[in-house]
Amino acid sequence: MQRYRETHDFNHVLLQMPTHMLGEVTVKYFEGIQFGLPMCVTAGIFGAARLRKNHRRRFLTQHLPWIVEQATNGRFFMAIDWENHWEEAIPSLQEQFGITPLESYQGS
């Protein structure tokens, strides 16, 4: 649990998700799928229910398919030693850890 708390913000950075409601829900789904933490799954589900109409549509059509693929195919984020990657560029880290940016995602 401590490592999750220590690394949550890195998840936002690597996934390039802002800290508004849509970004937070997207990151929670990623964490729920990758880490299997019940609190992340619950926050993702209830957070998604609170999204406004246009954000909900965007989440369901763009963010959700993308984040499911990133969580299942990307490297396990809690095992990454983030402290050794301070100087690396975000695109380089995304490539290293198997993350396709949302704006580049074409679906599988």
Q: Which element (helix H / strand E) includes 26?
A: helix 21-35
Helices marked H in 36-63 — which ranges? 38-49, 53-58
Q: Is the dihedral of CA 39, 55, 59, 75 positive or negative?
A: negative
> Which pLDDT tens digit goes with each residue over 49-107?
999 999 999 999 999 999 999 999 999 999 999 889 999 999 999 999 999 999 999 87
pTM of the shown model: 0.91
User: And the tokens for 105?
Assistant: 């995602």
